[in-house]
Amino acid sequence: MKGTNRSVISVFDLKKPGVKLGYSCCYALAAGLAVLMIYPLLWVLFGSLKEANEIFLVPPTLLPKTFLFQNYREAWQIYEIPKVVANTFIAFGGFLLVRFVVISAAAYALSHLKIPFRTGFYMIFLATLMLPFFAYIIPAYLVVFQLGLLNTFWAVWLPAGADSFTLLLLKGFFDGIPGELFEAARIDGASELKILRVIVLPLAKPILAALTIFAFMAVWNNFLWQQIVLSSGDKWTISVALWFRSLGNVGATVAQNIQLAAMLISTIPPMIVFLFFQKYIIEGVTFSGIKG
């Protein structure tokens, strides 16, 4: 057996009946957790296929009497899914562009260019990781207001340029690229911008891919900031639309079965992204937790 495959319990232990029982309990516990996680989702899925009055039937049914796929069509129309998804992608596109341009330049400067007070600058950036979110959400709203950016996508795009997690990851990656690699280009008179664009960024493709996924998940899931700065209906992103039509619009909310259908529609894109890029995401979570 490979060394990495063992943990606390060894093969020898497993031969003892007591340990065997405990090991089975571990499986039972894990299986219980899995059921606890997956069953509610299935239950919601069935709910989304029920008729409006079947949802409030007492005693409740598990499987729907009729599978109403038309709930999904209704949710698609009521929540204006094509429009809000398009808005979310517009928000995401600018968000990513601003973040990559600003942060990759800063990370490159911090790791390969001559600058004074390098550590001081780095600390100014990194210290924001410890800042509590609410200490700046209200004044940041006022900043956006004073810049005249309320109800424009700029309010989502621009703050993306100040993200220390991205900076930390990119600088770490750039540090690993030996300077000799672009010394020749420098001697040939290539500008630093060109070196960054032509040599450094292509090397960083894997990490940029991971950061793209994180940015997508962040924009798709973010609610509070988007709700504050994009309040007019034509700019709503998926989260804001989902909130307003389901819960926020007191007294005129959508029927429960349609709510559930819309909720599941909104879960599909991040689910697809996750299933394809699971490895990156889990590694990113691990990294972001350990960075401190």
Evaluate the CA torsion angle 193, 197, 199, 200 in order and state its sign: positive
- Reference 110, options 122, 126, 99, 128; nearest CA is 122
Which C-beta is closer to other proteins: that of 82 or that of 148?
A: 148
Q: Which of 228, 229, 223 is nearest to 242 (CA)?
A: 223
Report phi then psi at 47, rounded to 5.
-60, -40
Q: What is the CA radius of gyration of the chain?
A: 25
The token pair that represents 44 in the structure block: 């919601």
Shortest Cβ 161–other proteins spacing (Å):
3
Place of tokens 């894997």: 206
Q: Which residue lies nearer to other proteins by CB, 73 or 291?
A: 291
Q: Which is nearer to other proteins, 234 or 283 (CB)?
A: 283
Do residues 229 and 68 touch, judged by C-beta distance below 8 A?
no
Nearest CB to other proteins, comparing residues 209 and 285? 285
Specify the residue, 209 or 247, whose C-beta has the smaller distance to other proteins.
Answer: 247
CB of 197 to other proteins, least distance (A): 12
**Which tokens is 147 given?**
């810049």
Least Å distance, CB 53 to other proteins, is 11
Provide, rounded to whole angstroms, the least separation between the CB of residue 183 and other proteins: 6
The residue (of 66 and 278) whose beta carbon lies closer to other proteins is: 278
Q: Compute the distance between CA of residue 210 and CA of residue 213 in angstroms, rounded to an integer.
A: 5
C-alpha distance across the termini of the chain, in Å: 35
Instruction: Count CA within 13 A, CB hemisphere, residue 207.
Output: 19
Which amino acid is located at 276 in the chain? F
Closest distance of CB 173 from other proteins, Å? 14
Q: Cβ(122)–Cβ(60) under 8 Å?
A: no
Query: Closest distance between other proteins and the C-beta of residue 11, in Å?
Result: 10
- Kindly tell me the burial class for residue 157, based on how many C-beta atoms sit within 10 Å of its own C-beta (0-12, 13-18, 19 or more): buried
Q: How far apart are CA 290 and CA 285, in angstroms?
A: 9
CB of 63 to other proteins, least distance (A): 14
